Amino acid sequence: EAFAQMEDMTLEEYTKVIVNASTVNPQLLDDIEEDIYQLMDRSKSIRIQTEHPETKNILELKMNISDHNIIKCTGKRNFPDGEVFTSPDANTTEGEIFVDLPVFQGGGIIQGIYLKFENGKITKYSAKQGNEILAKIIETDEGSHRLGEVALGMNNGIEKVLKHPLFVEKVGGTLHIAIGASYPNTYKITNSITLDDYLKKGIMNKSAQHVDIVTDFRPGGVGRAVYFDDVKLEQENNIWVVPK
């Protein structure tokens, strides 16, 4: 009931949204995620373009994802589910991003987030709402100044954008990044390189935080374009698709 109140919804309305979001056919999710998965798997880099709502400047954030494991989420990990994610080479995160969707973190709502990365580290940040919460998250430790995840939301069963992070990050047509810890299972282990090696090189990020923040690339959002290498993603019915 508390979550329903946070979303300004009745318990019945909230329950309906939760049920619809959580009962998307896993095989359908698997099918719509496959092309995105294949593109990410063969790509070396990602570029994310967003528009700052005040200056109208186009911001670009880029990072290397070469040779990292790509993970499809189709209902076997979380409820709701529906995302394709990886962890970048944390050293390579460079540029700026504006994040528009509200998310509930640290006991309050954070919205309207601006981040600037230089040499893999957050050097400037602000939020229109919840700036003190954002500051507390980023200033937690060294790793919370770095990026731990990049992912595309693929669940078209979520009818309303909710503030709960497990829901907002799965919305089809959105992209989220995570401030803080990387996912160890996204790094390829071989006889010549271990997880400890990735940590020592700064490719993998360690932090007490892993906070997902979400940008809307659907009509009305600040998201403008997502490129994997030189391939610009498209959307059909608010779902990410690879151009034919």
By the 8 A CB rule, do 97 and 65 touch? no
Q: Indicate the pTM of the whole model.
A: 0.86
Using 50, 70 and 90 to split pLDDT, how confident is the model at 19? low
pLDDT tens profile 198-217: 999 999 999 999 999 999 99
Q: Is the pLDDT of residue 168 over 60?
A: no
- Residue 119, C-beta contacts closer than 8 angstroms, at least 6 positions apart: 91, 94
By the 8 A CB rule, do 33 and 204 touch? no
pLDDT tens profile 82-124: 789 999 999 999 999 999 999 888 889 999 999 999 999 999 9
What does pLDDT average to over the chain?
Answer: 88
